[in-house]
């Protein structure tokens, strides 16, 4: 996707509640904002699989935004079901990439991401088992 921009999060992100400059990478529209650590790694001679997977995850959100424009942001913010579907798609793409490098870690990656998705971070209010089942199904569908 040539119209994806990748930028380093500036100090201004410290003014945004819950995200901050060093906590999470974020995507707004067609721009991916990486934490300074991830940005430096991504632009190094040999970016880690974790950082590359993160960029793939965020690129899925860019594609989702480009397909739906402002509707994407509204649905992501206001609909837990839509937010879950968006994140399942993005995490599945990230896991698919990661298991190409570490095929023996598929279940570990699914468990890790299901744990994150079922935490309060995404405000989905879903139990781990349900999220794990949905994420496993999506990963199996695309791999």
Report the candidate in 12, 59, 56, 72 with the shortest Cα–Cα distance to residue 31: 59
High-pLDDT (> 90) share of the chain, %: 89
Mean pLDDT confidence for 11-18: 86
Per-residue confidence band for 17, with pLDDT thresholds at 50, 70 and 90: confident
What tokens appear for 103 in the block?
A: 């095929």
Do 49 and 59 lie in one domain? The reply is yes
Do 1 and 71 lie in one domain? The reply is yes
Mean pLDDT of the chain: 95
Do 122 and 98 lie in one domain? The reply is yes
Write out pLDDT tens, residues 89-124. 999 999 999 999 999 999 999 999 999 999 999 999
Per-residue confidence band for 20, with pLDDT thresholds at 50, 70 and 90: confident
Q: Which domain holds residue 92?
A: 80-143
Do 40 and 108 lie in one domain? The reply is no
Q: Tell me how far apart the alpha carbons of residues 133 and 119 are, in angstroms, rounded to a whole number.
A: 15
Final residue before a domain boundary, out of 28, 54, 78: 78
């Amino acid at each position: 996707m040539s119209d994806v921009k990748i930028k380093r999060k500036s100090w201004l992100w410290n003014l945004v509640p819950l995200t901050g400059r060093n906590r999470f990478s974020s995507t707004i529209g067609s721009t991916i904002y990486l934490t300074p650590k991830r940005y430096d790694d991504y632009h190094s001679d040999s970016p880690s699989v974790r950082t590359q997977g993160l960029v793939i995850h965020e690129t899925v959100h860019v594609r989702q935004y480009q397909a739906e424009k402002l509707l994407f942001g509204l649905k992501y913010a206001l609909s837990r079901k839509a937010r879950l579907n968006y994140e399942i798609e993005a995490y599945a793409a990230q896991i698919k990439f990661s298991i190409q490098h570490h095929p023996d870690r598929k279940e570990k990656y699914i468990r890790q991401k299901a744990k994150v998705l079922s935490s309060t971070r995404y405000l989905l209010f879903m139990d781990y088992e349900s999220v794990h089942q949905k994420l496993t199904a999506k990963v199996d569908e695309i791999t």
